[in-house]
């Protein structure tokens, strides 16, 4: 929630909508509206973000997986924090059922460094392995050119 008191030029941001610090006739509060994820997507919240994940079974190349995601106004998942990796594991655990699955994730190797599609360096959070031309599954995220092949070997 974001609250603003124009008379004192004061702004407050808080997760607790019931906060008593922002009561009074001059305060105006705004609660961000979250749109639901599209049909077939699972919804996760990583404040202040809403993450929408969808799993597409079937062997495809990285570029096809990326194009499939872009066709749905989404991207391959960008695993850039431990929290996102934990969400990724939570989502794919029931799909994997204790069997290794291969899932495309966002990234390309430039020189000796792995980067996300926006050029930012990939942290060592997500165990990435380079494989051949095809992966068995695709994971899109509502969370970004010619990447090297990247996928995650995931067992939960």
Q: What is the pLDDT of residues 114-126, one digit of tens each?
A: 888 888 988 776 5
Span 64-122, pLDDT tens digits: 988 988 998 888 998 888 888 889 888 988 888 877 777 888 888 888 888 888 889 88
50 and 116 within one domain = yes
Residues 95, 147, single domain; the answer is yes
Residue 17: how many CB atoms within 10 A of its CB? 10
Residues 12 and 55 in one domain: no
Q: What is the pTM of this model?
A: 0.60
Residues 27 and 89 in one domain: no
**What pLDDT, on a 0 to 100 scale, did the predictor assign at position 127?**
55
Residue-range definition of the domain harbouring residue 100: 42-154
Whether residues 99 and 125 share a domain: the answer is: yes
Is residue 46 domain-shared with residue 19, that is, in the same domain? no
Using DSSP bridges, classify how beta strands 108-110 and 101-104 pair: parallel, antiparallel or unpaired: unpaired
How far is 138 from 102, CA to CA, in rounded Å?
Answer: 8
């Amino acid at each position: 929630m974001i609250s603003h008191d124009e008379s004192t030029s004061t702004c407050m941001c808080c997760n607790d909508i019931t906060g008593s610090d922002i009561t009074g006739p001059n305060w105006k509060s705004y609660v961000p509206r979250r749109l639901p994820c599209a049909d077939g997507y699972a919804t996760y919240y990583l404040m202040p973000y809403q993450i929408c994940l969808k799993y597409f079974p079937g062997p495809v190349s990285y570029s096809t997986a990326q194009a499939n995601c872009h066709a749905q106004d989404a991207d391959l998942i960008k695993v850039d924090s431990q929290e996102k990796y934990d969400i990724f594991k939570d989502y794919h655990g029931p799909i994997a059922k204790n069997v290794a699955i291969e899932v495309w994730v966002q990234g390309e190797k430039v020189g000796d460094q792995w980067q996300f599609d926006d050029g930012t360096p990939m942290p060592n959070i997500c165990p990435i392995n380079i494989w051949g031309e095809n992966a068995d599954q695709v994971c899109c995220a509502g969370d970004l050119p010619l990447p090297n092949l990247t996928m995650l070997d995931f067992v939960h």
